Amino acid sequence: MISNAQIHFNDAGTPVADNFDDVYFSNDDGLAESDYVFFEQNNLPERFENHPRPHFVIAETGFGTGLNFLNSWRRFQQKTEHASVERLYFISFEKYPIKLADLRQALEAWPTLTSLSEQLCDKYPMALQGCHRLEFDNGKVILDLWFGDVQASLPQISYKEKGLVDAWYLDGFAPSKNPDMWQQPLFDAMAHLSQSKATFATFTAAGFVRRGLQQAGFECKKVKGYGRKREMVVGRLEHATTNHTTPLYFQQNKAALEHVAVIGGGIASSCLIYHLAKRGVATTLFCEDNALAQGASHNRQGAVYPNLQSEFGIPSEFYAHSFLYALRFYQTLANQGYQFAHQWCGVLLQSVTAAKQQQHQKIATSSLYPEQLIRPVTEKQAQNIANIDTPYGGLFIEQGGWVSPPELTQAVYDAAHDLTPHTTQFNAYIEKLEHTQNGWYLTSKDKTYGPFSDVFVCAGEHSDRFEQTSDIGIHGVRGQVSHIEAGEASEKLSTVICHKGYFTPSENGEHCMGATFEKHSKSRAVTEQDNVINREQVSQYYDGTEFDKSLGQVKSAKAAVRCCFNDHTPMVGQVQDKDDIIQAYQNIGKGKFYDYSEQKYPHKGLHIVTGFGARGLCTAPMVTEHLVASLLDEPVPFSERVHEALHPARLYIRDLIRNKI
């Protein structure tokens, strides 16, 4: 579990870390020191003008109060309109994140940064281990804030080619105060993650630091320090290593992203279009229906909450960070004036069975999650939260709630169009995909579209209808949600409650309850039997309560298909070809993870985005952001292990390891 920093403010008003007995920034002028030591000594003003890539990556070894980030953001905003760099990535690590109240107080010292520091504080994340992606200026400035020990976090960063980082801010408390950080593995990891010509700057001139950086491959020199400090060290890595964290079979084949087609019409499609649009990439959307969100995204109210476990394995990391990113994303849209019905009223997970109670108890005692994310509640506390006579305790996810999926899908779609205009073809059922030397062509019953450099298939349960995607292994799970008339007691429900299914607060006099779970079905037919099942399920757990007694009649219902894979994880990335995988990596079946053949990528430029199950509202925003960043060789928000779990090659590689193919 991540612990917050314990700090106090000295007589000069400077924050001091109690555990390290060291200040977070200079008592004299911390902002000027940050600008001189890190921004200027890495020669960033000139490099922003002439950088070979449209994005620039800074990495920092101690976030602290965020002063270095805020100054870099401020200076990035001051670059000329002719600068080659369009987006700034700032990756920072913090073992003991400062509490929000302390952060606000510390940043009050810099009134020139107020507009930026307020935005940082508004999005500042809870103390949860892993990478928190915070976006500012419509995605032009991205902060990846890794909570955890830097030595443990650096190996988790996913990248595929020769490094990632262009400039290092080697910061943190003084080596004498924080010796655990200033070690050779840190310097080696810096070199491992660096691009060729990457630079670093650090406030210290300690000899062992300089020698350690030289041993890692950096050329180092001493320069004049800031203020009363006589010397500091700067340097450069002339040639990046050829190492990478991502195995070849999980690397993302770089996309052209010049003229892009998206097949779909739900929340994942809109999120994908948005993340492309904020990078200036225009798209053409092909939707088989006459309007957006007619498939799995068409329910009136969808619950938004993460699926957490008592261990912080891949699923918990994936869902927790996806959930927090989605909340920030949706709130930003709302703040910008995009309209969609929603209510962050919390989600109450009820311990309705002995098995549920045991599961909830394990999560509550795991000490993995901050109470801001999830906390145990007694029966009495649950009643106070829900404002109904519920007979169960459980877990409460305070920041969760519900949204209207169709309205949200439209809002994200509109926001994307405002960033970079896109076009949409409604009633366009694409039957065939064909790859030629000119690009990809999409064929419907009476028309062919193209060419496109890249095609993204986000068609839910229909994503396997093309020849190139027919064996991805997707299956449908049909679910029906019933709309039941609210009564006097149920009208008071003030949070989403989850038992075996879910039940939402009243909206326009009706609740959503459900959903049924019919495996291996792609039918969207509404049945009266499923309405009965949904109603009986509520009565099963709340029989005898005023809440249950007050409910009226089922007025209507909607059925949709959750699309899933056997490992219950979305599939996101370059569409793989089974024969290509077997040919390239056949040695894996012999237990040899080396001597691979070259992968041919016969479906280059074709990408799959599907398999969200019942959690698309929670996961689609960050999953699609991760995909687009990966395709453009930008830093990605998911760790390497989550990236591998999402990649379409994973199922084939597992079968090769098990000698099943």
Least confident range of 154-163, 195-204, 541-550:
154-163
The sign of the CA dihedral 358, 360, 363, 367 is negative
The average pLDDT across 618-630 equals 97
Alpha helices in 16-97 (DSSP H): 30-34, 44-50, 67-77
Whether 40 has a pLDDT exceeding 70, the answer reads yes
The sign of the CA dihedral 628, 632, 636, 638 is positive
Across the chain, mean pLDDT equals 94
Tell me how far apart the alpha carbons of residues 533 and 536 are, in angstroms, rounded to a whole number.
Answer: 5
284, two tokens: 């053409």
Whether 301 has a pLDDT exceeding 80, the answer reads yes
Topology classification of domain 253-296+407-470+567-657? FAD/NAD(P)-binding domain (3.50.50)
Q: Which phi and psi angles does 523 have, rounded to 5°?
A: -85, 140
With pLDDT > 90 as the criterion, what percentage of the chain qualifies?
86
Least confident range of 1-10, 336-345, 599-608:
1-10
Predicted pLDDT of residue 242: 65
Whether 28 has a pLDDT exceeding 80, the answer reads no
Q: Which phi and psi angles does 54 have, rounded to 5°?
A: -75, -10
The average pLDDT across 288-300 equals 91
Tell me how far apart the alpha carbons of residues 309 and 363 are, in angstroms, rounded to a whole number.
Answer: 6
Topology classification of domain 7-237? Rossmann fold (3.40.50)
CA distances from 200 to 37, 176, 203, 433, 548 (A): 10, 20, 10, 47, 64
CA distances from 44 to 41, 50, 68, 297 (A): 8, 10, 13, 44
Length of the chain: 661
Q: Which phi and psi angles does 584 have, rounded to 5°?
A: -75, -35
Predicted pLDDT of residue 25: 82
Residue 204 one-letter amino acid: T
Tell me how far apart the alpha carbons of residues 327 and 621 are, in angstroms, rounded to a whole number.
Answer: 9
Predicted pLDDT of residue 516: 93
The number of beta carbons lying within 10 Å of the beta carbon of residue 148 is: 18
| Residue of 85, 76, 38, 70 lying closest to 143 (CA atoms) | 70
Domain boundaries of the chain, sorted by first residue: 7-237, 253-296+407-470+567-657, 347-398+475-561
The average pLDDT across 143-149 equals 97
**E strand or H helix at 208:** helix 207-216
Looking at domain 347-398+475-561, which of 1.10.10.10, 3.30.9.10, 3.40.50.11030, 3.40.50.2300 is its CATH number?
3.30.9.10
Query: What confidence tens digit (pLDDT) does each residue in 86-123 have?
Result: 999 999 999 999 999 999 999 999 999 999 999 999 99
Alpha helices in 387-503 (DSSP H): 405-419
Question: Is residue 238 helix, strand or coil?
Answer: coil
The average pLDDT across 521-539 equals 93
Question: Is residue 93 helix, strand or coil?
Answer: strand
Q: pTM surpassing 0.85?
A: yes
